Amino acid sequence: MSAVIGVLLIVAATLAQAAVLPEFSIFGVQPNLLIVVLVAWMSVRGKQEALPLIVIAGFLQGLLDSEPLGLAMLALAPLIVMTEVREWKLVESDLLPAILLTVLATWAYEGVMLISLAVTGERVDWLNSLIDVLLPAAIANALLLLPVYGVMRLFRPELRPSPAFGA
C-alpha cells in the first residue's frame, strides 16, 4: 500500500514541478519538489522503498521536461548513494540528515545538469552558476523540505512495541 502511495506522490510531485513550481520563485530559483519528496520519503520510509521511487521519478521527469529522456535519471542517481548515508543513523533526528541530504542532492542534481550542458558544447558560466543556481537552489529546497517532511511523517511506519523488560 505504501508503495502505491509513494508512486502517487511522485506522480503528483512531477506534475506540480512542471506546472506549479515555476510560478513560485525562492531566491530567484525554482525549488525542486521532486528531490525534496524523494529525500523526505527516504528519511521516513527507508532505503528499500526509496530506491524504486528514485528510478520512477527520474523517468517521469524525463518524459515531462525539455531535456533528453534519461538525463533526469542520471541527475537523480546520486540519491541512490545517499540512501546509504541515511542508513548510518549518525544522529537521533531524521530531519537534520534529511536537510543535509537535500542540500547534497540539489548540488548533485544541478551539477549533473550543468555538466550535461558543458558536454553538449553549450557554454557554462561555472562561477555564476554556483552563485545564482547551486547555492540558492540548495537553500530553497532545504526550506521546502520542512513542510514536506512534516506531511511525510504521517506515512511513518508504526514503531514496533519495545520488548518487555527482562524478556
Partner 1 sequence: MHVRTRTWLSFVVIAGLLFMAGSRFGIFDPLENAVLVAVAPVESALQDATRPVADFVNNLTDINSLTNENRSLREENERLLEQLSQSREVEAENQQLQGLLGVRQSPDDTFVAASVFARDQTNTREAIAIDRGSSDGIREGMIVLTQQGSLIGSVSKVLDNYAWVTLITDVDSAVSAVVQESRAPGVVAGAADGSLEMEFVQETAEVSEGDFVLTSGLGGRYPQGEVIGRVVNVERTAQELFQSVRVEPLADLSRIERVLVLESFTPQEEPPP
Which is nearer to partner 1, 64 or 91 (by Cβ)?
Answer: 64
* Cell reading at 27: 531566491
Burial 69-100 (b: 16+ CB within 10 A, else e): eebbbbbbbbbeebbeebeeeeeeebeebbbb
Residues that bind partner 1 (CB under 8 A): 15-25, 28-30, 32, 34, 47, 51, 54-55, 58-59, 61-71, 73-74, 76-77, 80-81, 83-84, 110, 113-114, 117, 122-125, 128-129, 131-133, 137
Min separation Cβ 132 and partner 1, Å: 4
Closer Cβ to partner 1, 13 or 98, answer by number: 13
Shortest distance, position 86 Cβ to partner 1, whole Å: 11
Please give the Cα distance from 114 to 122 (Å, whole number): 9
Residue 139 C-alpha from the chain's centroid: 13
Q: Could you tell me the smallest distance in angstroms from the CB atom of residue 110 to partner 1?
A: 6
Q: Shortest Cβ distance from residue 159 to partner 1 (Å)?
A: 24
Q: What is the spatial distance between Cα 62 and Cα 97, in angstroms, rounded to a whole number?
A: 27
Residues 99, 138: contact at Cβ < 8 Å?
no
Taking the complex as a whole, the smallest distance from the CB of residue 161 to partner 1 amounts, in Å, to: 28
Select 70 or 153, whichever has its Cβ closest to partner 1.
Answer: 70
How far, in Å, CA of 151 to CA of 29, rounded?
Answer: 23
Q: In the complex with partner 1, which residue's Cβ is closer, 83 or 102?
A: 83
